[in-house]
Amino acid sequence: MKRNVFLVACVLLAIGALAVYADIDPNKEVVPGVKRGDTIIIEDPTVTLVNPDNFNLWMAWSGGNGGYSTGLQQLAMDTLWYLDSDSGVKRAGVKDQTWHNSLAAEKPIYNKDYTQMTAKLKKGNYWSDGVEFTSADVKYTVEIQAQNPTMLFGAAFKVQVKSVETPDKYTVVFNLNKPNSRFHRNFTVRWNACWIMPAHVWQKAVKDPKDAMTYTFNPPVSIGSYVLKDYDKHGAWYLWERREDWKRTSIADFGMPAPKYAMYLMDLPNDKKVIDQTNHNLDMIHEVAPEGMVQLAKNKWETNWFQGFPFGHPDPTLIAILPNNAKAPFDNPDVRWALALSLDITKIAMASYKGAVTLSPIEFPPTGTSRQYYFDPMQSWLKDFTIDTGKYGKIKPYDTTVAQKIADQARPSFGDAVPKDPERVKAMIGQGWWKYDPKAAASLLEKNGFTQKGDKWYKPNGEQFKIKLQNWGPDRPVLQRLAMMVAELWTNFGIETTATWAQDNGTNYNLGQYDVNMGWNIESWGGHPDMSYFLDSMSSDYYTPIGTLHNGRNQIRYKSPELDKIITGMLSCDFDSQKNIDLGIEWLKLTTKDMPEIPLMSYNVFSSQDSTYWSGYPTFDKPYANTVTNWANSRYIFTQLKQMLPPTK
């Protein structure tokens, strides 16, 4: 007996000692010579890289190579302008904080007919090898890519750019093949943009333009405030070190980035993220499953966007149900409205995000500055909006009570974390969505010749109304849950719906060979109201029939002369003009009437931060940047962080 007690005591002592071993220690080394207290450890959601030696991120989406968000695009790359997807970092004397003239000295300058864009460059920015950044770098970046359409911006430049002139070291003039008032989009960062190449490095390495696709750009010469220190030969991590001369980079406009080192870890499964952050070995999680978020949020040291329910940062990406507008019966707006009215958004919100959603009834993401430009101004129009359902009569389908209902349903799980103040609830969950009204939905179907036999709906030609609801692959678990609930609701309504999935939505989506899809084709700048970002390719000029691959965002194959007018109007007015916003509202009204796709919610990203070693992360109340770590804009977070535990040895 005594021996057993002794053994148990030994085991307990050992466990205690081991727990101490895993304690917080700013002096422990992340890699030899690099202290934990000086290092921020960040999740990069990119898959483990199979070709980690390749830093040529101008290659077209070769995700298996050196990757984009290993710190490379966030810390070592730069371009002319940045547009923050939230409110941007406050700077004294700067009116538009979302816009940052990064390598450019001022905003883009267009000629009258938008066939020429001039960029004035800042002086005093240097590459990490000591060479000054000049207009020659920009010119080379455009010209080498235009010769290689398989490079990320190669095809875009080949199609758009006639020539590039550099009248002096700090001026670049782009002569365009046809008018384009949004050409600067190529050099304006949202998630990424065309990064500028160090011409002096590339010209030496790439003798034949074709070699640009095979050049590995290793080691990468940086124009950002960090340089590569080390990386895993199997692509599991990358370590960056702050440049001694960080003041000679564009980030100097915001002050010194606090972490001396930044380590990006690739491809962490959900459980491991939770474990690593709980053990204080992972400061910033890009995205974790809702269950993991709830678990992490219980800790005092944890920070998330809302500092509690609904936790996730709403990305400027609109999750929507995407019916194939070119395929009957989805080519009929009444049918699309019937599909919308047969959905109970509270059930969808609970099934997908456990209620932690930010809803949108209109075809625009409910994030960033969008409330100010679109959501608030649209409220009275939405409340008055009426549809004629036929036998059931005219209804006003907009429901402003749904956010409160979702909050009430979420409260048993999250308790006091769910706000009670109705204004706060609306700000977090949304101002409203469409009523769950199966009778109106049924009436709309009957109006169009559909019949109900038993509990099943039949099309006017007598065939049973069935839907195949295609969804993204297993990498998007929230979307999968969402699709399952939509399928259940439609099936309960009498439309037999089967949820299927295809990796990245599949080729049949691009070919238009599908019924209804679940995903997104509408994304906004977040910090700017301009809609041409996603809308211009939906012009009927680019419409492709079923069976022909689409060339833009109009996978749903929606066509409307009114939309064409809106797009033409947008592209012929200034990016920052009021007319641009007014036309945006026209789009929202048109699509509310037509319902070409059923908007649901923003893509909420459950990002979690550990404030043990670093604090000052962006939040809903201090929304200076998007919290997701793979966006290039995340570089601004570094300038706002505070070191909490500096190494003592």
Q: What is the contact mask toward another protein in residues 199 to 238, using x (rule: CB under 8 A)?
A: --------------xx---------------x-xxxxxx-
54 near another protein (CB under 8 A): yes
Residue 328 or 549 with smaller CB distance to another protein: 549
State the minimum distance, in angstroms, from the CB of residue 576 to another protein. Answer: 19
Exposure letters 178-189 (e unless 16+ CB within 10 A, then b): eebbbbbbbbbb
139: Cα within 13 Å, side-chain hemisphere = 18
Using CB under 8 A, which of the segments 53-61, 243-251, 571-579, 592-600 binds another protein? Answer: 53-61
Q: Which position has the token pair 């402003």?
A: 400
153 near another protein (CB under 8 A): yes
Which one of 552, 562, 568, 644 is in contact with another protein (CB under 8 A)? Answer: 552
State the minimum distance, in angstroms, from the CB of residue 529 to another protein. Answer: 16
- Residues in 74-113 at the binding interface with another protein, rule: CB under 8 A: none
533 near another protein (CB under 8 A): yes
CA separation for the pair 395, 384 (Å, rounded): 10
Residue 501 or 614 with smaller CB distance to another protein: 501
Q: Residue length, the chain?
A: 649
CA separation for the pair 505, 471 (Å, rounded): 6
Using CB under 8 A, which of the segments 250-258, 399-407, 490-498, 534-542 binds another protein? Answer: 534-542
Phi-psi region of 254 (alpha: psi -120 to 50; beta: other; left: phi over 0): alpha
One-letter identity of residue 407: A
Q: What is the contact mask toward another protein in residues 306 to 345, using x (rule: CB under 8 A)?
A: -----------x----------------------------
CB 595 within 8 A of CB 334: no
Q: How many residues bind another protein (CB under 8 A)?
A: 85
Residue 87 or 147 with smaller CB distance to another protein: 147
State the minimum distance, in angstroms, from the CB of residue 377 to another protein. Answer: 25
CA separation for the pair 607, 313 (Å, rounded): 7
- Residues in 242-301 at the binding interface with another protein, rule: CB under 8 A: 263, 265, 267-269, 271-272, 275-276, 278-279, 281
Residue 76 or 395 with smaller CB distance to another protein: 76
Residue 21 or 130 with smaller CB distance to another protein: 21
Among candidate residues 269, 267, 280, 276, the one with its CA nearest the CA of residue 234: 267
Residue 543: phi and psi, rounded to 5, are: -65, 135
Residue 95 or 649 with smaller CB distance to another protein: 649
Q: What angle do CA 123, 129, 135 make, to 5 degrees?
A: 35
State the minimum distance, in angstroms, from the CB of residue 148 to another protein. Answer: 8
158 near another protein (CB under 8 A): yes
304 near another protein (CB under 8 A): no
Among candidate residues 536, 545, 538, 500, the one with its CA nearest the CA of residue 519: 500
Residue 30 or 256 with smaller CB distance to another protein: 30
State the minimum distance, in angstroms, from the CB of residue 214 to another protein. Answer: 5
State the minimum distance, in angstroms, from the CB of residue 8 to another protein. Answer: 15
- Residues in 360-389 at the binding interface with another protein, rule: CB under 8 A: none
**The token pair that represents 302 in the structure block:** 């944890």
Among candidate residues 209, 223, 215, the one with its CA nearest the CA of residue 59: 215
Residue 18 or 92 with smaller CB distance to another protein: 18
Which one of 82, 127, 133, 191 is in contact with another protein (CB under 8 A)? Answer: 191
436 CB-contact burial (10 Å; exposed 0-12 / middle 13-18 / buried 19+): buried
- Residues in 445-474 at the binding interface with another protein, rule: CB under 8 A: 473
DSSP-assigned states of every residue in 74-131: III---SEEE-SSS----TT-S-TTEEESSBSSS-EE-TTSSEEEEEBPSS-B-TTSP
CA separation for the pair 169, 203 (Å, rounded): 17
Using CB under 8 A, which of the segments 92-100, 184-192, 293-301, 483-491 binds another protein? Answer: 184-192
Q: What is the number of other CB atoms lying within 10 angstroms of the CB of residue 247?
A: 13
State the minimum distance, in angstroms, from the CB of residue 403 to another protein. Answer: 27
State the minimum distance, in angstroms, from the CB of residue 304 to another protein. Answer: 20
CA separation for the pair 529, 368 (Å, rounded): 9
Residue 279 or 464 with smaller CB distance to another protein: 279
Spell out the alpha helix ranges (H) of 466-539: 477-493, 506-511, 532-535
19 near another protein (CB under 8 A): yes
- Residues in 471-530 at the binding interface with another protein, rule: CB under 8 A: 473, 475, 502-510, 519-521, 523
